Amino acid sequence: MDATTQQRYAEAFHALHSKGDPLVLFNAWDVATAKAIAKSSPAVATSSGAVASALGYADGENAPLERIEGLVSRMTASVPVPVSIDLEAGYGDTADAAAHSAARILKAGAIGINIEDGLVGGKRQLASPEQHATKIKAVRAAAQQLGVHLFINARTDPFLLKFGSPDECLNEAARRAKVYADAGADGIFVPGLTDLVLIGRFVQLTPLPVNIMVTRGVPEIPDLARAGVRRVSLGPWPMMAAMRVIGEAAAAVIASKQYGPFLQPNA
């Protein structure tokens, strides 16, 4: 991808995070799903869990970075829309490691990343907000050096890791959002936050566009839009749904000894 196209995609992706009309991301896990999604979506984003599963690894930076880099390169060459990558915790506990990883992803054509604070030393635990902020600063510097207006979506995990009561999780997430905004983040991603009242309060507490992940109990998209959410991610759910359908279809063909609809043209 040439630099002009990448920067155009980056600016377009930033603009998609608008008030009242959130960016809805039906997350991809390989080139085929990215191409299918790009037919109707203005952007493509990956789910780290879905990508790892498709490659035969557990989530949590177990899929080798070179495999992710190769996927990004093929994906960005295959779709005519911006591509954002779930980079987990930046593939390392240091700011230098995160900057190096982000630079590789950017050189492969991505224009956005998620980077999370809930994975330290390969374990699911909260990093200090200051430690995570140093990663965000280093990633921003690496992107500027490459001339890309990278969208840094800072993921914070107090709700996911059950930091405390819902109010305690909210306050901790808001505290971290302020630190990450000051470090240069463009968005704040809060998996596990599902209560509409708390979502509305969180939107008011942070200067960053809020990203909510779909899971059981999450309000409908119009309700999230009215609460001020600017980005909605379906995460690993599309892949899980697809695998369920494939499993059921395989079982039906094997049991019935009939091909069913699978030989239809243009399927």
Please tell me the predicted confidence (pLDDT) of residue 99: 98
What mean pLDDT is reported for the chain? Answer: 96
Q: Examine the pLDDT at 214 and tell me if it is beyond 80.
A: yes
CATH class of 3-235: alpha beta
Q: What angle do CA 14, 20, 26 make, to 5 degrees?
A: 60
Please tell me the predicted confidence (pLDDT) of residue 103: 98
Percent of the chain with pLDDT over 70: 98
User: Using 50, 70 and 90 to split pLDDT, how confident is the model at 149?
Assistant: very high
Q: With contact defined as beta carbons under 8 Å apart, do 46 and 53 qualify?
A: no
Please tell me the predicted confidence (pLDDT) of residue 266: 63
Please tell me the predicted confidence (pLDDT) of residue 260: 80
Q: Examine the pLDDT at 44 and tell me if it is beyond 90.
A: yes
Q: What six digits make up the tokens of 168?
A: 């305690």
Q: With contact defined as beta carbons under 8 Å apart, do 79 and 30 qualify?
A: no
Q: Examine the pLDDT at 221 and tell me if it is beyond 70.
A: yes
Q: Examine the pLDDT at 267 and tell me if it is beyond 60.
A: no
Domain residue ranges in the chain? 3-235
User: Using 50, 70 and 90 to split pLDDT, how confident is the model at 265?
Assistant: low
Own/partner contacts of 7-13, CB < 8 Å, gap of 24 or more, are 7/147, 7/148, 7/149, 9/81, 9/82, 9/83, 9/111, 10/82, 10/111, 10/112, 10/148, 10/149, 10/150, 10/151, 11/149, 12/42, 12/43, 12/82, 13/43, 13/82, 13/84, 13/111, 13/112, 13/151
Please tell me the predicted confidence (pLDDT) of residue 261: 80
Q: Examine the pLDDT at 153 and tell me if it is beyond 80.
A: yes
